Structure 1
Amino acid sequence: MDSSKKINLPIIFLISTLTAPLSWAAANQQDSLKPRINSKSERSLNYDWPIIKVGTGSYEEGPTGVTVFHFDRKVNVAVDVRGGGPGTVNAPYMDLGYDMAELDTVVFAGGSWYGLEATTAVATALKDDGLRDGDAFSLTPNIAMSVGSIIFDFGARRLNEIYPDKRLAQASYRAAKTGSFPLGPHGAGRSAVSGGLFGCNAFSGQGGAYREIGDIKIAAFTVVNSLGAIVDRKGKIAACYQGEGWPEKIDIAELLAKFPDNLTDWGDDQQQASSKNTTISLIVTNQKMSQAELKRLATQVHTSMGRGIQPFTTIFDGDVLYAVSTAELEENTMSSAVLGTVASEVMWDAILSSVPEQPKHAVANNRLSLNKKHLNKLTGEYTFSEFAQITISRDSSKLYAQATGLRDVFAIGRTTATELIPVSKNVFMVPGRYPLTLSFETTDELIINPGKWQQTARR
């Protein structure tokens, strides 16, 4: 045997033995998840358009999710793909430009490439439920057509690799309803963020807007997970965790004018830009449009989004926009250029509506004194996932945290212990640019950043 091809069986056996439990644990965690479907929202878009049904689902343990747009009958679709890292299903087929109503559903999902499973899962659900079959060769094809895109919601933003799978996608599709669309951290936008280029790292989500002009209807839906910042019509950044040395008030023009030197001048040494970002969008009109007009609508609206997200479509973004015509309005009552202009404004409204209320920093209680016996009860190792663990230790009357897994736990690193500042008896915080709160719910459960984006560890 060639010595260069010799296999060291003991080493391979050892590696497989060590990694098997981790792989099994990850798979077991995914299988035990319970879908949360069409959960209540603090803010929702209400629209009057029965042909569009929307279903949203999430795995709160992620958190991550999926958003399914289901049209009651087949419709026409075009797509515009930009940015350096798009993840899509059936995009090349749409670009062929067949002037035929074939689309059933548009699916948005978290989970990066793994989330693409959600799109094909909805297509098979259409067939399994008897709404579509395998006949693709009749004059009116009845085979299910589902298109979709994904966002990257792993990495530093959460401490696990849970993804929206087939079960979650099909449950969301089957629960789809018309008239209401939850805004903010729901569905595919459950763990979306924006503004990483500037270190803003603000929470984002999914947004929607609806407008009627005479008989024309226009609806815009988007999941904003952008490297750039979300910007309003006055040039103000909608949400951003600013660096300590930033001016109190800053607009996007000032920020970009001397970028990136100004961040250095402001003493910004905590910039944490994600290299994985995406904004995925859908624009729908009831006016009948040719395939060429629909493609131009997709291009025009997608281009306009560069006003509401700055910068847009960078090499680190995988931006995709779908344009759909339901063709319910046969008469061409508005030129495609005018329709595109109005739709662009509706999309900007949708972008702005994606921004939820941002978590606030906890306030330290400098007068609080905790006894050592109580602090001892909180010490130990807590596990978030197979690769994220944290060790809580006590030194005198102070509590410390240190990441002991394969990754840091937000601002809590693996090289040195981080002091936890008490807020109350069982709640602590870590000062810094981004809110970091640790709440000991029981003697065996630790929650980081309690609330909509919490991460739970158990001892």
Structure 2
Amino acid sequence: MNMKRSGICAWGVAIAALAAVLPLSPVQAQSAEQDALKPTLNDGYDTPDALRFDWPAFTIGTGQYEDGPTGLTVFRFNRKVLAAVDVRGGGPGTVNTEYLGIGYPFPELDSVVFSGGSWYGLEAVTAVNTALKDEGYRGGNWDNVGLTVGSIIYDFGGRRLNEIYPDKRLAQAALKAAVPGVFPRGAYGAGRSAVSGSIFGCNAHSGQGGAFRQVGDLKIAAFTVVNALGVVTDRDGRTAACYPDKTWPAGFRTRDILAGTPDSGKPGWTGVDPSSEKKNTTISLIVVNQKMEPWELKRLAIQVHTSMARGIQPFQTEFDGDVLYAVSTAEYEPADDKRIGLLDIGTITSEVMWDAILSAVPPQPQAAFEAPPHRATDAAALRKVAGRYRFSALAELELKVEDGRLLGQAVGERRVFGIPKEAAVEIIPTETGDYVVPGRYPTVLRFDARGGLTINPGRWQQHGRKRGDR
């Protein structure tokens, strides 16, 4: 026997055994968590709210990691198209927009990708482009190189208890799943964990929106992921979604909130929530079938992007990364006397985009400022749910019983929604069987018999497990 080789093998076995029992670092835990994720593809395509339209020139696919939740949206054109871009926000995250900005008069664009995951999500854009080559659709010849552009939104922070991001695997799966004529609206795809109105502490759930209009043979589609610092506003000036402070006046409108910046002078008005996160973005795409020149597409992008300030107030701030792509499929080449002019196309498309913005708003879970009716709960039942619950390498929650009350405190790197790190707060049992933390934003806890804890059950739920339970 080769003793030297045997010794090396023995050391290898020992090191492997030691690694098996040592706890994973937060970075290792995040990597392992990411690799084990199960993709959800084309979620919401069969819902009544999904946009349906007849336009086979491009396909749409979405991918989501529900454990985030986070996701992405892929638009693939069936031939190279002409495109322009308008970048306005103070913090954009993009791929290949500089090239589009040159304005070459050649159709070169293959696909557009919107993704969550902040700048980490840009991996999804290049992943779609390499997939076009890997499947043989594009290659290495100078006139057949694939071109994919894309942008990201910030969907980390307090809105979820992990840092899962859309990756290469998810992007390429969504590309393969893409189909024509369907676009899910609300908390799907890249808008899976979008929020809006953070500038005023509204922190409303948001999503992706879409709208379509046909005028004669002219087709126009608008798509947007609304993760805006500003508030979504309808055509009557009403705030479409917001978790207001309890001191705000009843029936407030967007203009009231804007007038209250920084101090409206109204009794009891609290104005801006200083704890709101300031990383936001609205990323958008408009598609027209009429053939257009590069300068026309650029002007269309600018006009429509500017018009979006009606539906999102304020818009294009220093803390937003707003980007709009404009695409012409050039399928429709009308005679001069039947051609709809750029001004009219811009006006129509601006209205279509406002429809898209409003359609991005999903139903909002209710919050409870005041404690709901209590459920009589004995100390034994409270002790049964007490313990430490782990949601990710970044978030853990400690629950304990004191003086017949259930108290909760975040003990990981970050707070757990309405449960802070600085001090314990009471977790109140309700008549529904759930527990709540009263406050401006929803914090609902639901325990199961297997040691699991779900916070805010429903579309944006977060799952944790009690330490020591399997």
Structure-2-length-normalised TM-score: 0.90
Amino acid at match of 2:308: M
Aligned to 2:137, what secondary structure does the other structure show? coil
State the aligned residue count: 439
Question: Is residue 72–residue 104 contact of structure 1 (8 Å, CA) maintained in 2?
Answer: yes
**Structure 1 residue matching 2:170: 3-state secondary structure:** helix
Is the contact between residue 261 and residue 271 of structure 2 (CA under 8 Å) also seen in structure 1? Answer: no
Aligned to 1:319: 322
Contact 1:384 1:456 in 2 (8 A): yes
Instruction: Give the distance between the partners of 2:320 and 2:265, measured in 1 at CA.
Output: 22
Partner of 1:458: 465
Residue matched to 1:439 = 446
In the TM superposition, what are the counterparts of 1:254-273 in structure 2 within 5 Å? 254-262=256-264, 265-268=267-270, 271=273, 272-273=275-276
Tell me by how many angstroms 1:42 deviates: 5.0
Match of 1:121 in 2: 127
| Aligned counterpart for 1:64 among listed residues 57, 67, 70 | 70
Q: How does 1:4-403 map to 2 (within 5 A)?
A: 21-40=25-44, 41-136=47-142, 141-262=143-264, 265-268=267-270, 271=273, 272-331=275-334, 333-361=339-367, 366-403=373-410
Report deviation, 1:443. Answer: 4.0
What is the CA deviation profile of residues 209-237 of structure 1, one whole-angstrom value per residue up to 9, with x for unaligned ones? 00000000000000000000000111111
CA distance in 1, matches of 2:165, 2:98: 25
Aligned partner of residue 448 in structure 2, secondary structure:
strand
* Distance in 2, Cα, partners of 1:66 & 1:372: 45
d(CA) in 1 for partners of 2:257, 2:372: 34
1:179-226 CA-to-partner distances (Å, cap 9, x unmatched) read 110000000000000001111110000000000000000000000000
**Which whole-Å CA distance do the structure 2 matches of 1:204 and 1:263 have between them?**
30
| Distance of 2:266 and 2:249 partners within structure 1 | 13
User: Do the aligned partners of residues 269 and 251 (structure 1) sit closer, same or farther apart at CA in structure 2, a change above 3 Å counting?
Assistant: closer
Any idea what SS the aligned residue of 1:163 has? coil
- The Cα shift of 1:406 comes to 1.1
Q: Is the 8 A contact 1:286 1:325 kept in 2?
A: yes
Structure 2 counterpart SS, 1:286: strand
What letter corresponds to residue 433 of structure 1 in structure 2? Answer: R
Q: 1:220 to 1:160 in 2, by over 3 A?
A: same
Q: Deviations over 1:402-427 (max 9, x none)?
A: 00011111121112111011114751
Query: How many Å separate the matches in 2 of 1:153 and 1:263?
Result: 33
Instruction: Write the letter of the residue equivalent to 2:200.
Output: F
1-structure distance, mates of 2:162, 2:257: 33
Which segment is superposed worse, 204-213 or 266-275? 266-275
TM-score, with length taken from structure 1: 0.93
Question: 1:355 & 1:158 partners in 2: Cα distance?
Answer: 18
Pairwise CA RMSD of aligned residues?
Answer: 1.8
Give the unaligned 5+ runs of structure 2: 1-21
Quote the offset at 1:369 in angstroms. 1.1
Amino acid in the other structure paired with 1:395: E
Letter in 2 for 1:446: L
The CA deviation at 1:346 is 0.4
Q: Runs in 1 of length 4+ with deviation above 3 angstroms?
A: 362-367
CA distance in 2, matches of 1:263, 1:68: 46
CA distance in 2, matches of 1:164, 1:334: 39
| Shift in Å, 1:254 | 2.3
Q: Secondary structure at the match of 2:25?
A: helix
Q: Determine helix, strand or coil for the equivalent of 1:451.
A: coil
Residues 118 and 155 of structure 2 are in contact (CA less than 8 Å); yes or no, is this contact kept in structure 1?
yes
Q: Quick one: percent identity of the two aligned structures? A: 56
Provide, for residues 38-78 of structure 1, a one-character-per-residue CA deviation record: whole Å limited to 9, x for no partner. 11345111111011210011000100000000111111110
What do the CA deviations read for 1:351-392 (whole angstroms, capped 9, x no partner)?
000001100136955352112222111011001111110001
The alpha-carbon deviation at position 274 of structure 1 amounts to 1.8
CA distance in 2, matches of 1:43, 1:429: 30
Contact preservation (8 Å) 1:63, 1:453: yes
The gaps in structure 1 that reach 5 residues or longer are: 1-17
1: distance between equivalents of 2:380 and 2:201? Answer: 39
Secondary structure of 1:261's counterpart equals coil
CA contact (8 A) 1:194 1:203 kept: yes
Range with greater deviation from structure 2 (390-399 or 346-355): 390-399
